[in-house]
Chain A
Amino acid sequence: MKKKYSIYSLVKNSLSDNQNWKKMWRNPEPRKFYDVIIVGGGGHGLGTAYYLAKEHGLKNIAVIEKGWLGGGNTGRNTTIIRSNYLWDESAHLYEHSLKLWENLSAELNYNIMFSQRGVLNLAHNEHDVKEIRRRVSANKLNGIDSEWVDPNQIKKLVPIMNTENCRYPVLGASYQPRAGVARHDAVAWGYAMRADELGVDIIQNCEVKKIRTAKGKVQGVETSKGFIRSNRVGVVASGHTSVLAATAGIKLPLQSKALQALVSEPIKPVINTVVMSNAVHAYVSQSDKGELVIGAGTDGYNSYTQRGGYNIIEDTIRAIVELYPIFGKMKMLRQWGGIVDITPDASPILSKCEVEGLYFNCGWGTGGFKATPGSANVFAHTIAKNKAHKINAPFSVDRFVSGRLVDEHGAAAVAH
């Protein structure tokens, strides 16, 4: 690795007033031809390029991004990482990812600030209790650290939570200690830097306008910087995947909606784990800066506006204040929206399609950040070998024809 970060490099650069840090990646002009083109420079796309170069020995790769790196959903999520999903297929995928997260800072030699502070998924009624206990058991069978905790144990973990005097009292929760959060920008930057060192061309401010195909094979992409030829194109464009797929004549079972998040003014540490609640729809964690990071539900209509309605924020804030009365007088600093691509079964699509050489990594909906390394890793395998990895084989787009869906609406935890 060329750029090595250490205590020594920190001291050395601070002596020169931090003026001599090297650029983390080049800013090349696109070549005429690439072996593989990845459309979309978020975490999943940059990670795919990194694993293609590192694990599959491909050299001539481009990542094409219409804006700036990590400016889409990679920089807009609430940074929660966990793997406590119900079905075997999802558990394997998200656990594969969590194992990669645990070693990612070391692998990239770049601090992604992965903090395993645990996640609580709250139960507020008898049905929740049964459903979450079932999920805990399913997790244990898949070797995932998940346990049922009662309200007393929850009180110990999160003393500020109002578990009793509320409209929907807290009856228990699942707890996954290995879950946590990471700094989402650093994930994109870390992958970008190491992919760039392995020879990947990262082309920013270049929009892919059309995927060109002929005789059932992919020919390349038409971009705002001209046509770029390639036999293999991987589309990792989250909310805009449908738009790109349509240019190649492909219909995918995706609906794009705005998902909002917001952060508060920074305060001293009050909550040292991630708390999520499906039933009242409130989830919150505290960032290292001290801001509360809050995720809302999706706005209930298709949109590409990266905004969303105030009523959705009001719903989630109402639930947060009921669960944590101590937050009642806090001020919110920023609010934003990202466009998420939702599938009918709330599970992703990592798949080939009927056009040869065209691959899709999409449908992550409201919870793709946690899967970034795992998704990138198996998607790189799918592109390199033209065959799904055994982990992403169940997430083929053909499942909507065969009917073998992976229904994760319960574990997805965000209303949509």
Chain B
Amino acid sequence: MFTIRCPYCGERDQSEFSNGGEAHVARPKDPEQISDREWSEYVFIRANPKGIYYERWVHTHGCKKWFNAVRNTSTDEILKVYKIGENPPPLKEFKNTIKTPSGEPDVGSGNFSVKKP
């Protein structure tokens, strides 16, 4: 459970929002030309990283507007919120917030192998 800063309404509880999955997924320009495998990738395969994730949210119980966010899926920390149509912020802007190779946070995790004894 966390709060999200809606670019139109300000900070609200996450339960007011609905998640729209990965952001910036482009529909293939020439769907009739591409192979079944490429079509399958567009329809079924979405990024599922542990760490930096570009995603869409909609303020369902608020202004009902869509927007994009950058979130660290290993901590649920929202690193940036930006409007639809704006360019995604580059990945390197957030790299230093990820401490371990697997993106595992050092607290609140069952992963002992990355913790110091």
Which A residues are closer than 8 A to B by beta carbons? 66-67, 71-72, 205-207, 209, 224, 240, 242-243, 246, 251-256, 300-311, 344, 400-402
Contacts and interface: CB of A to CB of B under 8 A. Distances in A.
Interface of B: 1, 13-15, 18-19, 21, 36-37, 40-41, 43-46, 48-50, 53, 55, 71, 73-76, 101-103, 108-114
Contacts of B53: 302
A139 B63 CA distance: 46
Contacts of A305: 73-76, 108
Contacts of A71: 110
Contacts of B48: 242-243, 252, 254-256, 302
B38 to A, nearest CB: 10
A243 B14 CA distance: 25
B15 A255 contact: no
A224 B113 contact: yes
Contacts of B46: 253, 255
Nearest to B14: A309
Contacts of A243: 48-50, 102-103
Contacts of B102: 207, 209, 243
A300 B73 contact: no
A415 to B, nearest CB: 13
Contact of A251 (B13, B18, B36, B41): B41
Nearest to A224: B113
Given A253-B44, A305-B74, A401 B50 contact: no
A71 B53 CA distance: 26
A207 B73 contact: no
Contact of B45 (A206, A251, A302, A311): A251
Contacts of A307: 1, 76, 108
Contacts of A72: 110
A289 to B, nearest CB: 24
A248 to B, nearest CB: 15
Given A209-B102, A253-B45, 12 more contacts: A67-B112, A243-B50, A251-B45, A252-B45, A302-B19, A303-B73, A304-B74, A307-B76, A311-B14, A344-B43, A400-B43, A401-B40
Contacts of A255: 21, 46, 48
Nearest to A258: B76
Nearest to A301: B19
B113 A207 contact: yes
A73 B60 CA distance: 31
A137 B113 CA distance: 49
Nearest to B16: A311
Nearest to A246: B49
Nearest to A206: B113
Contact of B55 (A206, A207, A302): A302
Contacts of A209: 101-102
22 contacts: A72-B110, A207-B102, A209-B101, A209-B102, A242-B49, A242-B50, A243-B48, A243-B102, A251-B41, A253-B44, A253-B46, A255-B21, A302-B53, A303-B73, A305-B73, A305-B74, A305-B76, A307-B76, A308-B1, A311-B13, A400-B44, A401-B36
Contact of A306 (B44, B45, B110, B113): B110
A307 B45 CA distance: 25
Contacts of B113: 66, 205-207, 224
A180 to B, nearest CB: 28
Contact of A304 (B13, B19, B55, B73): B73
A317 to B, nearest CB: 14
Contact of A303 (B44, B76, B101, B108): B76
A205 B112 contact: yes
A343 to B, nearest CB: 8
Contacts of B40: 400-401
Contacts of A246: 49
Nearest to B38: A401
Nearest to B111: A66
Contacts of A311: 1, 13-15
Contacts of B73: 256, 302-305
